[in-house]
């Protein structure tokens, strides 16, 4: 019986191309030295020693190429739960098998096609994420903002203030950080309140405003969520007319009115989700994601600044001030200081801003929002700090 089978096997092997190979049957790690014959219908796997007993037969349609080292064709059987493997290093036999078994994807053309599709789809997904982040998130944030209670925004502002105030107070002045509290500064404080009052009356803001002038040399102002505005003493020093200061205040009130603080929180959270989580973290490639986030964040803040400028122009006109004064003080500040990378990314270019302000501002007869006496008092709102004992 076995003699018969063996004779048939040898006869078949003589007709079909064959070569030695290594076979693992998947039930144990025993290394079987075999002869593989490529018959018309599939591979016949026969023991290399003794009677050339047939160990297994794999049809061409079942063959699956597995990852292996260079110069080896490693085959598995499709749909098999066992990890049976056939490893062929004979180049001639490999070529014959690849010819006969279409599933083996000779030359890897199908694999490359699939891979190109994957790359194309990944690229499309990345592009879609960027477009969503650039346009979808800001639109979504605008829709959500009306549903967020003002109290939440005020609490958020208080939280941010806790963190930002020590950072702003870089000279560690403590209670002396705020201007307008000493008796000598009372007239200045009254003038500021008058100016803010005129603007606020025209603005109808959702929050009670709290404008605080602080001892900081930078010509800057910051609006926190919830209506708290910091005006740096450096800005008051730079302002040549009450309307210039009013223009900046109106710009910050624009951030308050548009609830830009909450908007930033929402947009940053959305961005963190899209870019931090969906794109995940991976060795080195994180840099691309960080760069994309940086660019998107700056695009959000440029849009917010443009909108606040427009708000300022509108509010100044309503309050009867000079809407172009904002542009004047912006130009002076920029001339004074090196326009760094951060400013460039976060704010639209100053020239563009001024042009945009001039374009919407309707020129007309205006008269300063504060008279000369009040303005002189306001300029003195930050008296020199008494030396510390």
Partner 1 sequence: MADAISPPGPAGAVRFLGKEAAYWRLRIKGAGLLLLTLGIYRFWFATDVRRYLWASTEIGGDSLEYAGLATELLGGFLLAIAIMVPLYTAIAAAALTLDTSEEAVAAIGFILLVLLGQLALYRARRYRLTRTVFRGVRFDQHGSAWRYALYALFWWTLVVATLGLAYPWAQAALQRFKMRHTSYGDLAGSFAGSGSALFMRTLALWFLVIGPIICAFVVLGHTVDWDALNKMVTAGESNPLALLTGKTGETVLAVFAAGIGTSLVAALLLYPLFAAMMMRWWISGLRFGSVTAQSLLRTSQVYRIYLRFAAVLVLFLLLTFAAAGAGTFIVDRLLKPSADAKELLASIVTIVLYVVIVLGASTIYQVVVTFAMWRLGVQTAELSGADALDSVCAAGVPSSALGEGLADALGVGGV
Write out the residues near partner 1 by the rule CB under 8 A. 19-22, 24-31, 33, 66-70, 72, 74, 82-85, 87, 89-90, 115, 118-119, 122-123, 125-126, 129-130, 159, 172, 174, 269, 273, 275, 277-292, 294-295, 339, 341, 344-345, 349, 351
Which is nearer to partner 1, 47 or 129 (by Cβ)?
129
Choice between 172 and 365, CB closer to partner 1: 172
Tokens of 215: 């001892």
Nearer to partner 1, 22 or 134 (CB): 22
Shortest distance, position 89 Cβ to partner 1, whole Å? 5
Q: Among residues 107 and 340, whose Cβ is nearest to partner 1?
A: 340
Opening angle at CA 212, ends 147 and 334, nearest 5: 95
Q: How far is the CB of 3 from partner 1 (least distance, A)?
A: 25
Q: What angle do CA 232, 235, 236 make, to 5 degrees?
A: 100
Nearer to partner 1, 68 or 368 (CB): 68
Distance separating alpha carbons of residues 317 and 324, to the nearest angstrom: 10
The rounded distance, in Å, linking the Cα atoms of 144 and 259 is 11
Per residue in 320-340, is it b (16+ CB within 10 Å) or e — as a string? ebbbbbbbbbbeebbeeeeee
252 vs 223: CA distance, rounded Å: 6
Give the shortest CB-153-to-partner 1 separation in angstroms.
Answer: 12
b/e string for 57-81 if b means 16 or more Cβ within 10 A?
ebebebbebeeeeeeebbbbbeeee
Q: How far is the CB of 75 from partner 1 (least distance, A)?
A: 11
Min CB(93)–partner 1 separation in Å = 9
* Residue with smaller CB distance to partner 1, 124 or 376: 124
Rounded Cα gap, residues 170 and 68, in angstroms: 62
Min dist CB 207 to partner 1, Å, is: 19
**Whole-number minimum distance, CB 195 to partner 1, in Å?**
33
Structure tokens at 123: 């690229």
Place of tokens 């400028």: 309
Query: Quick one: which H or E segment has residue 18?
Result: strand 18-24
CB of 291 to partner 1, least distance (A): 5
Label residue 194 exposed, middle or buried (CB < 10 Å: 0-12, 13-18, 19+): middle
CA–CA gap between residue 316 and residue 357 (Å, rounded):
11
Q: How many CB atoms are located within 10 Å of the residue 252 CB? A: 25
Q: Between residues 190 and 356, which has the closer beta carbon with respect to partner 1?
A: 356
Shortest distance (Å) from residue 284 CB to partner 1: 3
Using the CB atoms, write b or e for 26-49: b if 16+ within 10 Å: eeeeeebebbbbbbeebbbbbbee
Nearer to partner 1, 19 or 236 (CB): 19
Cβ closer to partner 1: 2 or 163? Answer: 163
């Amino acid at each position: 019986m076995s003699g018969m089978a063996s004779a048939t096997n040898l006869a078949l092997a003589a007709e079909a191309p064959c070569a030695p190979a290594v076979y693992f049957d998947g039930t144990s790690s025993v290394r079987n030295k075999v002869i593989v014959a490529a018959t018309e219908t599939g591979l016949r796997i026969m023991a290399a020693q003794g009677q050339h007993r047939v160990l297994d037969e794999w049809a061409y349609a079942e063959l699956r190429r597995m990852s292996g080292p260079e110069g080896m064709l490693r085959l598995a059987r499709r749909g098999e739960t066992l990890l049976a493997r056939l490893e062929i290093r004979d180049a001639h036999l490999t070529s014959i098998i690849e010819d006969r078994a279409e599933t083996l994807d000779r030359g890897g053309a199908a694999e490359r096609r699939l891979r190109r599709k994957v790359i194309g789809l990944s690229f499309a997904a990345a592009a879609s994420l960027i477009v969503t982040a650039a346009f979808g998130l800001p639109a979504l944030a605008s829709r959500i903002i009306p549903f967020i209670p003002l109290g939440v925004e005020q609490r958020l502002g208080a939280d941010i203030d806790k963190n930002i105030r020590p950072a702003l107070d870089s000279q560690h002045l403590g209670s002396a950080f705020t201007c307008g509290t000493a008796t000598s500064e009372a007239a200045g404080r009254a003038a500021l309140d008058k100016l803010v009052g005129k603007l606020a009356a025209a603005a109808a803001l959702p929050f009670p405003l709290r404008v605080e002038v602080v001892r900081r040399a930078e010509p800057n102002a910051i609006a926190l969520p919830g209506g708290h505005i910091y005006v740096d003493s450096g800005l008051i020093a730079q302002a040549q007319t009450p309307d210039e200061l009013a223009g900046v205040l109106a710009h910050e009130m624009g951030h308050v009115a548009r609830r830009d603080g909450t908007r930033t929180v929402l947009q940053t959270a959305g961005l963190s989700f899209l870019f931090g989580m969906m794109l995940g973290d991976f060795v080195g490639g994180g840099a691309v994601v960080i760069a994309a986030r940086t660019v998107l964040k700056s695009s959000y803040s440029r849009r917010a600044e443009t909108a606040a400028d427009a708000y300022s122009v509108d509010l100044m006109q309503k309050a009867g001030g000079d809407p172009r004064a904002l542009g004047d003080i912006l130009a002076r500040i920029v001339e004074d200081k090196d326009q760094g990378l951060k400013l460039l990314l976060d704010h639209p270019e100053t020239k563009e801003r001024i042009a945009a302000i001039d374009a919407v501002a309707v020129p007309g007869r205006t008269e300063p929002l504060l008279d000369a006496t009040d303005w002189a008092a306001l300029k003195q709102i930050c008296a020199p700090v008494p030396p510390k004992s």
